[in-house]
């Protein structure tokens, strides 16, 4: 979502006459779009902000903006850390930045999006992307969240759930398609809760699939408590929708899931997966996992290991618990040390990598459809792309391959993260 917001804000600034530059030293404006989901993300961006503050001391006319979730959470306190910041704008108010710069901004003024300053929900609901997006692009279908998982800061910094109108979403996808985009990823904190009148998320998938030149559709993130058989059948019946489902499990322990306020138990999660795989046999399933949630015992952790063994995820994003001020989990008395959390995370990563490698090696010798999206970072003489499951596939520089091509590939090798193939 932050990538998407950055693209929209970039479009606004380019339309207002700004230009991108390559080096921060040459900038008239530096913007940091921040995340608050994990403490590590905030620590990293604070270090970068201080680097830019040093540039601003050398060039006082430069403007420094901090936008996004951390800006909303920290607010005015950011000035105590870095008084050189000119703008502090929350995720929605950030889209006012071009207007604030062009209409009367004076040195020393700071604009803050917060409840005490009449927090405004201002979003470009009828966004019309103008900057090049390549062959893949994000499209937000909603903003905010009302699930209030006990560990999550998102509802507090991004606000309540607001669904975009179907017409605005379809107009944006049409515009992207006319600019050469072939693959759309629909975004929401919980896409399954989407609704616009009588149109639910499954209906929206079907409508997006009718837009010419869009050949692949993905979506993230789904919440397990809201997935439905209707969604799975729409995925199976709609060729443009990829056989790719990201469904965060977070833990295999029912006790921990209850403390997390996730709204389901492991048995219900497993049942949803069984239904999905029955309807979509080629389903590629990925997940999120949190290790070391407050009070997690070794038995709770073992249940997570058992769960991923049973389900066999194709990939997982795995994190140790990060305490977020203001969340319900912050109030849970906790005796777990960072050492325990790190040790469990390492065990989880090792176990999941073995399972993922085994799953990927099952594809060796098989044919997959790949959308070529760039050049390999490790070897510039090779191309890379994604199969319909979302797996990265490395391809040799065969004659005739170009970015944007959809080709059939025979898989020759696989590891935990990547497939390797030959162009057929």
**What pLDDT was estimated at residue 57?**
92
| Rounded Cα distance, 113 and 136, in Å | 31
| Rounded Cα distance, 415 and 397, in Å | 20
pTM passes above 0.85: yes
What tokens does 397 get?
């520089």
What tokens does 140 get?
């937000």
Residue bearing tokens 């080629």 = 282
- Residue 83: C-alpha distances to residues 73, 76, 95, 110, 115 (Å): 17, 10, 22, 10, 21
**What is the chain's pLDDT, residue by residue, as a tens digit (424 residues)?**
999 999 999 988 998 899 999 999 999 999 999 999 888 899 999 999 999 999 999 999 899 999 999 999 998 889 888 999 999 998 878 888 888 887 756 555 576 655 544 434 444 544 556 666 789 999 999 999 999 999 999 999 988 999 999 999 999 999 999 999 999 999 999 999 999 999 999 999 999 999 999 999 999 999 999 999 999 999 999 999 999 999 999 999 999 999 999 999 999 999 999 999 999 999 999 999 999 999 999 999 999 999 999 999 999 999 999 999 999 999 999 889 999 999 999 999 999 999 999 999 999 999 999 999 999 888 888 899 999 999 999 998 766 789 999 999 999 999 998 999 987 6
**What pLDDT was estimated at residue 369?**
96
Residue 161: partners with Cβ closer than 8 Å, 6 or more residues away = 142, 143, 144, 145, 146, 189, 190, 193
**What pLDDT was estimated at residue 111?**
67
Edge-to-edge strands, sheet with 111-112: 29-34, 63-68, 87-89, 111-112
Q: Is residue 295 a contact partner of residue 334, using CB atoms and an 8 Å limit?
A: yes
**What pLDDT was estimated at residue 95?**
87
| Rounded Cα distance, 373 and 394, in Å | 11
User: Domains in the chain, please, with CATH?
Assistant: 2-117 (3.40.50.12160), 136-361 (3.80.30.20), 367-423 (2.40.50.140)
């Amino acid at each position: 979502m932050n990538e998407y917001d950055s693209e929209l804000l970039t479009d606004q600034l380019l339309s207002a006459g700004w230009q991108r530059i390559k080096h921060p030293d040459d900038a008239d404006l530096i913007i940091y779009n921040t995340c608050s989901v994990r403490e590590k993300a905030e620590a990293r961006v604070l270090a970068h902000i201080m680097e830019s503050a040093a540039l601003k001391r050398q060039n006082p006319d430069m403007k420094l903006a901090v936008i996004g979730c951390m800006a909303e959470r920290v607010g005015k306190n950011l000035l105590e850390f870095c008084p050189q910041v000119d703008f502090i704008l929350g995720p929605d108010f950030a889209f006012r930045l071009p207007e604030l710069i062009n209409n009367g901004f004076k040195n020393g003024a700071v604009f803050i999006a917060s409840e005490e300053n009449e927090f405004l929900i201002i979003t470009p609901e009828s966004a019309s992307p103008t900057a090049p997006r390549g062959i893949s692009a994000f499209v937000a279908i909603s903003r905010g969240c009302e699930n209030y998982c006990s560990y999550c800061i998102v509802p507090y910094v991004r606000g309540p759930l607001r669904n975009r109108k179907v017409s605005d979403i379809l107009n944006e996808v049409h515009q992207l398609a006319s600019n050469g985009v072939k693959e759309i990823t629909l975004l929401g904190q919980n896409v399954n809760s989407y609704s616009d009148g009588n149109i639910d998320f499954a209906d929206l998938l079907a409508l997006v699939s009718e837009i010419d030149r869009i050949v692949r559709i993905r979506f993230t993130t789904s919440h397990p408590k809201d997935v439905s058989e209707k969604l799975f059948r729409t995925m199976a019946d709609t060729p443009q929708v990829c056989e790719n489902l990201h469904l965060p499990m977070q833990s295999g322990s029912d006790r921990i899931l209850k403390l997390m306020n996730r709204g389901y138990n492991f048995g219900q999660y497993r049942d949803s997966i069984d239904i999905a795989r029955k309807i979509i046999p080629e389903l590629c399933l990925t997940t999120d996992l949190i290790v070391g949630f407050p009070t997690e015992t070794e038995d709770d952790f073992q249940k997570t290991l058992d769960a991923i063994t049973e389900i066999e995820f194709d990939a997982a994003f795995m994190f140790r618990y990060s305490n977020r001020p203001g969340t319900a989990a912050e109030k849970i008395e906790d005796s777990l040390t960072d050492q325990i959390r790190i040790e469990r995370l390492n065990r989880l990563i090792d176990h999941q990598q073995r399972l993922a490698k085994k799953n990927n090696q099952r594809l060796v010798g098989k044919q997959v459809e790949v959308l070529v999206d760039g050049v390999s970072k490790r070897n510039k003489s090779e191309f890379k792309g994604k199969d319909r499951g979302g797996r990265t596939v490395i391809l040799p520089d065969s004659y005739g391959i170009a970015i944007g091509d959809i080709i059939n590939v025979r898989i020759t090798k696989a590891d935990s993260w990547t497939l390797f193939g030959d162009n057929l």
